[in-house]
Amino acid sequence: MTRNDGVVLYWRPLCTYCMKLRFGLLFTRLRYSRRFTRVNIWKDPDAAAFVRSVADGNETVPTATVGGRPMVNPSLRQLLDAARQYSE
């Protein structure tokens, strides 16, 4: 469950770090981009397996991929900077 282009945010319900990141994204252009996808790892076993593969066997969320490059528990600034660099 990875995509080589765009931004994919892996999250799960009740994760306060996910909620904080998603709330921060509400006020950015990235949130409204067609290249931005959110994936609930509790509903997608392949996504959960991917997160474990990049997070040392843990289901650490939020995890994101930007252009296929994984980022485990990124801050809003880190995610936006990576997305900006990818789009250039």
In tens, the pLDDT along 9-58 reads 999 999 999 999 999 998 888 766 777 899 999 999 999 999 999 999 99
pLDDT of residue 1: 45
pLDDT of residue 59: 96
Q: How far apart are CA 57 and CA 70, in angstroms?
A: 14
CB 34, CB 61: distance < 8 Å: no
Q: Domain boundaries in the chain?
A: 7-81
pLDDT of residue 19: 95
What CATH class has 7-81? alpha beta
In tens, the pLDDT along 11-24 reads 999 999 999 999 99
CB 59, CB 41: distance < 8 Å: yes
Q: At what angle do helices 16-25 and 76-87 cross, to 10 degrees?
A: 50
Query: Residue 88: which pLDDT band, with cuts at 50, 70 and 90?
Result: low
Sequence length of the chain is 88
